[in-house]
Amino acid sequence: MTDTSTPRTDGALSRRSVLAGAAAAMFVPASVAAVGSSAGAVSAPATSRGTATTAAGATATARATAGTVHRITMYVEDLGGGQTGYGLEPGKATIPGPLLEMYEGDTMEITLVNTTDRDVSIHPHGVLYDVNSDGSPFNRSYNGPGETRTYVWRTTGERSLGRWARPGTAGYWHYHDHAMGTPHGTAGVAAGLYGGLIVRRQGDILPDRQFTVVFNGMLINNKIAPDTPMFEANHGETVEFVCIGHGDMFHTFHLHAHRWANTRTGYLEGPRDSSQIIDNRDLNGGDSFGFQVIAGEDVGPGAWMYHCHVQFHSDAGMSGIFLVRNADGSMPDGAQESIDWFHDHEGSGHH
């Protein structure tokens, strides 16, 4: 069962096409702020929505009308080989789980069906919930083997205090198990019970494509190079990365040839915004952030690498490929050779 707040599409319309004709956004991508161009990016109109491809192959999308109640059913399923995932339909669990998305003011009601013989739960970061939706044995809010339980997450906008303001819940967050193995869900997280959660503000730019990247121990999305996910976009598309950290190790996330602002969205709010511009950021246990880039902007299409920049982590296989195809979707010159090299060398210790 998927998001029942609004009809679901099969991705035939990209977010860019859904937003065609809307007014230009106030936000400016970090890489083009100096020249005053937003590369065609537009703001979300009050009732627009869209779907996008995620690393897990599933997304629950939000409407831009605040106050929507999203009712979804998620399933916890064993995937074999010690792996466990969340899914929106029976038999469709993935690692990471589906990327969930709301706007400030929305509520999400998640009916979690535990099909396993172990305790599980779903615990969110960044949103509002009461003790019955905490998703932890501490508050006795979890699913026993075979049980079904509903969790309710709420969101809010920022509150003005005159000169100051209290923050709302907009941000790039995440969810994960908090019950399997230990009261902190250590076994569940290690097995793959995690996923991304986005809370947007009205007017936020919606991407053409979305990718979830999870550094979990020494793995990326519970895989090691050369089997890590290859994320693909066409030259000029707006791409959103949701980055999440789990496990016991220090990590940094680095994306080759692309930069973003160290802000809530990855954008600058105009040419006078002095926020730091980065291409590398810490990504440690329990941390999350997100950003948008224009695929191949100013550098062109090609096979670009993403990886943990802790050297022995990348050497051990914490790396993957961000493939920027030509604008027409064809393979850029030299990209296949780079992909072949990656599969022959990464994770093997030969460079």
Domain span at residue 24 reads 16-43+205-351
Q: Using DSSP, state whether 247 is helix, strand or coil.
A: coil
* 139 and 87 within one domain: yes
What's the CATH code of the domain at 327?
A: 2.60.40.420
Residue 2 lies in a domain: no
What per-residue confidence (pLDDT) applies to 63?
Answer: 52
Structural domain ending residue among the three candidates 164, 179, 203: 203
Residue pair 217/266 in contact (Cβ under 8 Å)? The answer is no
Residue 167 lies in a domain: yes
pTM of the model as a whole: 0.83
Count of domains forming the chain: 2
- 35 vs 299: CA distance, rounded Å: 16
Q: 214-245, pLDDT tens digit by residue? A: 999 999 999 999 999 999 999 999 999 999 99
CB atoms within 10 A of CB 40: 11
Residue 76 lies in a domain: yes
User: What kind and span of H or E run contains 312?
Assistant: helix 311-315
Q: 174-211, pLDDT tens digit by residue? A: 999 999 999 999 999 999 999 999 999 999 999 999 99
Contacts of 284 (CB under 8 A, 6+ apart): 245, 249, 250, 251
Contacts of 203 (CB under 8 A, 6+ apart): 25, 26, 43, 44
Q: 46-87, pLDDT tens digit by residue? A: 333 333 434 444 555 555 556 899 999 999 999 999 999 999
